[in-house]
């Protein structure tokens, strides 16, 4: 088999840039670890982001459930944030008259500039 003068170096690995060893013509990676790293970086970032958002919404839900179980229906926002609540992670938002209504699964509450209030469970309609 003869190679052209400029093909002596060969193709390079998509992950690390090393020259690919002798093998298949359609080879793109020099090793299985490079292949795994490349595919993880390609799709893993989106999956990780989704998992972090779902985790934050779940954490918010359990904080709201603990407040309801304690009989608390109103709390200052700094106190809520100190408990680990993430204000940016909710499942829905509506503007109701002059209040902002937020929902975290089946729990709804209203938010003012400094406080959330009327924390309550919603009734599901089928």
Domain positions in the chain are: 10-121
How many whole angstroms separate alpha carbon 84 and alpha carbon 6? 59
pTM for this model (two decimals):
0.64
Provide the H-helix boundaries in the chain.
Answer: 32-69, 77-82
pLDDT tens for 91-121 read 999 888 888 899 999 999 998 888 999 999 9
How many whole angstroms separate alpha carbon 16 and alpha carbon 37? 10
Q: Which of 56, 83, 67, 82 is nearest to 119 (CA)?
A: 67
- Using a 10 angstrom Cβ sphere, with 0-12 exposed, 13-18 middle and 19 or more buried, the burial of residue 46 is exposed
User: What distance, in Å, lies between the first and last C-alpha atoms of the chain?
Assistant: 71
- The rounded Cα 2 to chain-centroid distance in angstroms is 51
> At residue 9, does pLDDT exceed 70?
no
pLDDT tens for 62-77 read 999 999 999 999 999 9
């Amino acid at each position: 088999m003869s190679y052209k003068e400029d093909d002596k170096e060969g193709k390079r690995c998509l992950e690390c840039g090393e020259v690919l060893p002798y093998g298949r013509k359609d080879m793109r990676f020099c090793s299985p670890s490079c292949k795994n790293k490349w595919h993880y970086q390609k799709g893993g970032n989106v999956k990780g982001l989704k998992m972090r958002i779902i985790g934050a919404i779940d954490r918010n839900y359990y904080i709201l459930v603990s407040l309801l179980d304690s009989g608390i229906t109103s709390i200052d926002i700094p106190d809520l944030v100190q408990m680990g609540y993430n204000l940016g992670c909710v499942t829905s938002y509506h503007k109701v008259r002059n209040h902002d209504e937020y929902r975290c699964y089946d729990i709804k509450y209203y938010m003012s500039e400094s406080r959330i209030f009327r924390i309550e469970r919603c009734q599901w309609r089928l």
